[in-house]
Amino acid sequence: MSVLNLNPSYEWQGNDGNWSTFTLRLGTIPQPVHVLPSTSGSTILVVDPQGCESAFTKCDDLRGSTFNQNASSTFHRIIQSEQQTAFNVSFDSEKSLEYTALGPVGVEDKVLLGNEGASRPLDPQVIHSYYDYFPFLGFFGLEQQNSSVFANETYRSILGSLSNSSNIPSAYWAYTAGSHWTETWASLTFGGYDKARGDISKGLETDFSEGTQTFQVSIKGITLQRPSKNVTAAGSFPVTSFLDSVVPEIWLAEDTCDTFADVYGLEWNEEHEMYFMNESQHVANLYTDPKVTFTIMSNSDAAAKTVDIVLPYGAFDTVASYPLAGIQNLTDRQRYFPLKRGSPKQQYLGRTFLQSAYMAADYDRQKFYLTQASYPGSQASSNIVKINRTGSSSQGLSTGAIAGIAVGAAAIVALAGAAIFWFRRKKKQNKRTHYSGSFRASSIGGTTMDGTHEGMLSQEYFKPDGHNSELPEDQFKQELDAITTARGFVRHHRAELSGSVRRTSQQSGLSRDSAVSPMGDRGRRPVSHLMQQSPASFGQPSPPHLSHRNSGQSSPGAPSPPMTESQYWGLSGPFELSAISREHASPVLPDPAIEPIRSEPITISDLDSGTVDSAVVAPLSVQRAEDTAYNEQLRANMRGPVPDGRS
């Protein structure tokens, strides 16, 4: 079951003000009529075609259209006798105001509530047509109680029909008359209320019992605002008053009305019993905008909370037209103030008051509510609150909120997609520095490596140097643990190579400030290609399986203790440069292209026996004179004992 938020007709109509109407569609072939909600009745009251026969032009349009009973085959007319075919309209709640109207009565089987395309079918409804000029516009009742013409026949009201057929979640309605001066249409909701038009939960709550003059409140006081000071209305307060949308004006005691007349500059017309206002006073009121505050409390509990309903001058800015105020033609207008003098039994807060008040009635709990109405404008979004029979309420989503959620959901989907793309891209980038059994050609710290390397752990990463890296820093793991991180060749530290190493300079066996990178078994190099170390290469990690140097005391990948002498590993064992000054090392030259030369490792015996091609070892003999001692020491170290049984 959903809340029915009825759309207005989007017309301002009436001869005693600008009122926002609603649409009913009556008959076999639906005849649309524009009518006002009645908070005090349960039947449908419409203008009969005879009410416009001998009247003014455009009467049908100005009065919200008429209903032709004879044009509907589903209308069943009720008569008391052949001589008596019309009935008096029941104005029980307005009896003290002596409202009267006369016309035929019947039951219409086809009644649709709402505009075309958004109508709700109802149970058969009692329809009372009338011939009179008053009321100028028709009504449809909001009361839940059944309608009857004769005692033995009853028919459900509109609210009873909607509630009984489970079209709405509860026997509940909320209404505000709208405000022409702010271009805010009337609001009528069944089964809940529109929080955008007023917060019922913050208003006045009071009990009621169904019957005549159902909705009674007490006016605790009235304050009028003048430019210089506020004025308290004269009169005896609190006073009981009736909330009734059938009555267009506000009815108050005469001395209270005199306070209004003084503040707004009104003149009482005895003949028409209306307050008139001239144009100059109207302009002054528009400028100063004197407001009226009604302090309302429950009629049954004097200690109950109160609610203030504030009416700006715009709520009273109305004009009368034919046939009111003695006006004889359609073009004439008379500016008047919708306030009436009433006896103690004629105290009403009518439709003028309900422009600024939001009213709701809950027939399941026999309570009604009153709060200040909001003026969000004609294009405002609704914010529907559903009222259930069990006493709970659930707030629905406004149209702006729905749109916001849709936008938010789209944003979440976009963010999720971006996150997935980022993680996939990050994974691919990590794979570029993630080695699981093989090296791809890449540059690390200025040294190129390729080929297959046995025993390399899959979690290892080579962290690039910050000064000489061709790969972005964010593609590498920034901090590596001591177990799975390969250590690089740095001064006073040792590291191992599986197989041959090569240098990219052919000028010397050891270039100054060079670093050594591991080579795979498929790409081993002769001793002449030992290593090259650039200033930016210190601290580069080496593969972890090149460990166990000192009788297996070092774990794979773990850092080795510093040596007392500079010691390096190359070929099949370590070499020491304790007596060699590195100041005489050759400068670094650009890396040449790399080509595989030999698939088998070069041993010391190969060098001694001369079995190695001279072209391979030739670079060792091409040395500057000042490097002779350096190279001799190098060869002596290479012939030394090899630890761990390496060959």
Beta strands 87-88; 306-311: pairing state: unpaired
Residue 326 confidence (pLDDT): 93
- For residue 454, being part of any structural domain is answered with no
- For residue 616, being part of any structural domain is answered with yes
Give per-residue pLDDT as tens, 138-186.
Answer: 999 999 999 888 878 899 999 999 999 889 999 999 999 999 999 999 9
SS3 at position 490: coil
* pLDDT above 70 (res 206): yes
Residue 395 confidence (pLDDT): 54
| Cβ count within 10 A of residue 526 | 23
Q: How far is it, in rounded angstroms, from Cα 498 to Cα 484?
A: 17
Average pLDDT estimate for 217-234: 94
Q: How far is it, in rounded angstroms, from Cα 241 to Cα 349?
A: 7
pLDDT tier at 634, thresholds 50, 70, 90: low
- Same structural domain, 372 and 419: no
Residue 210 confidence (pLDDT): 75
Give per-residue pLDDT as tens, 252-270.
Answer: 999 999 999 999 999 999 9
* pLDDT above 80 (res 533): no
- For residue 446, being part of any structural domain is answered with no
Picking from 344, 150, 350, the residue whose alpha carbon sits closest to that of residue 255 is 344
Q: Which residue has tokens 């009853």?
A: 154
For residues 288-320, one letter each, b for 16 or more C-beta atoms within 10 angstroms of the residue's C-beta and e for the rest, the string is: eebbbbbbbbbbeeeeeeebebebbbbbbbbbb
**φ, ψ dihedrals at 428, nearest 5°:** -65, -40
Give per-residue pLDDT as tens, 551-568.
Answer: 444 444 444 444 444 444
Q: How far is it, in rounded angstroms, from Cα 51 to Cα 104?
A: 12
Beta strands 339-341; 250-252: pairing state: parallel
* pLDDT above 50 (res 482): no
* Degrees to nearest 5, angle at CA 561 with 558 and 566: 120
Tell me how far CA of residue 27 lies from CA of 84, 126, 156, 487, in angstroms.
24, 12, 17, 94
CB 35 within 8 A of CB 139: yes
| Single pTM value for the model | 0.63
- Same structural domain, 407 and 330: no
Picking from 258, 268, 264, 267, the residue whose alpha carbon sits closest to that of residue 233 is 258
Residue 421 confidence (pLDDT): 58
Give per-residue pLDDT as tens, 69-116.
Answer: 999 999 999 998 888 899 999 999 999 999 999 999 999 999 999 998
- Same structural domain, 31 and 167: yes
- Same structural domain, 392 and 410: no
Q: How far is it, in rounded angstroms, from Cα 14 to Cα 338?
A: 13
pLDDT tier at 128, thresholds 50, 70, 90: very high
Residue 381 confidence (pLDDT): 85
- Same structural domain, 204 and 306: yes
User: Residues 6 or more apart from 611 whose CB is under 8 A from it?
Assistant: none
Q: How far is it, in rounded angstroms, from Cα 136 to Cα 273?
A: 18
- Same structural domain, 245 and 340: yes
CB 75 within 8 A of CB 108: yes
- Number of structural domains (the chain) is 3
Better-predicted residue by pLDDT, 125 or 461: 125
In the sheet where 4-6 sits, what is the strand order?
4-6, 187-190, 172-176, 357-362, 367-372, 204-207
Give per-residue pLDDT as tens, 241-253.
Answer: 999 999 999 999 9
- For residue 270, being part of any structural domain is answered with yes
What is the average pLDDT score of the chain? 75
The H or E element spanning position 366 is none
- Same structural domain, 409 and 486: no
Sign of CA dihedral 205, 197, 354, 276: positive
Residue 299 confidence (pLDDT): 78
Among 15-24, 243-252, 496-505, the least confident range: 496-505
- Same structural domain, 286 and 188: yes
- For residue 464, being part of any structural domain is answered with no
Among 14-18, 245-249, 264-268, 606-610, the least confident range: 606-610
Give per-residue pLDDT as tens, 427-448.
Answer: 555 544 443 443 333 333 443 3
Among 187-191, 309-313, 328-332, 391-395, the least confident range: 391-395
- Same structural domain, 375 and 485: no
Residue 247 confidence (pLDDT): 98
CB 44 within 8 A of CB 228: no
Q: How far is it, in rounded angstroms, from Cα 114 to Cα 34?
A: 10
Residue 436 confidence (pLDDT): 40
* pLDDT above 50 (res 637): yes
- For residue 619, being part of any structural domain is answered with yes
- For residue 449, being part of any structural domain is answered with no
Residue 155 confidence (pLDDT): 95
Residue 448 confidence (pLDDT): 39
User: Residues 6 or more apart from 590 whose CB is under 8 A from it?
Assistant: 504
Average pLDDT estimate for 194-200: 96
The CATH number of whichever domain residue 15 belongs to comes to 2.40.70.10
Give per-residue pLDDT as tens, 372-417.
Answer: 999 987 777 899 999 999 755 555 444 444 444 444 555 555 566 6
Give the residue from 409, 426, 443 where a domain finishes.
426
- Same structural domain, 618 and 637: yes
Among 208-212, 280-284, 492-496, the least confident range: 492-496
pLDDT tier at 582, thresholds 50, 70, 90: very low
Domain limits for position 507 = 481-647
DSSP 355: G
- For residue 465, being part of any structural domain is answered with no
pLDDT tier at 639, thresholds 50, 70, 90: low
pLDDT tier at 613, thresholds 50, 70, 90: low
- Same structural domain, 385 and 522: no
Q: How far is it, in rounded angstroms, from Cα 527 to Cα 417?
A: 53
* pLDDT above 50 (res 339): yes
Q: How far is it, in rounded angstroms, from Cα 311 to Cα 330?
A: 29
- Same structural domain, 407 and 347: no
Give per-residue pLDDT as tens, 345-372.
Answer: 999 999 999 999 999 999 999 999 999 9
DSSP 323: T
* pLDDT above 70 (res 477): no
| Cβ count within 10 A of residue 364 | 16
Beta strands 357-362; 367-372: pairing state: antiparallel
Give the residue from 358, 380, 396 where a domain finishes.
396
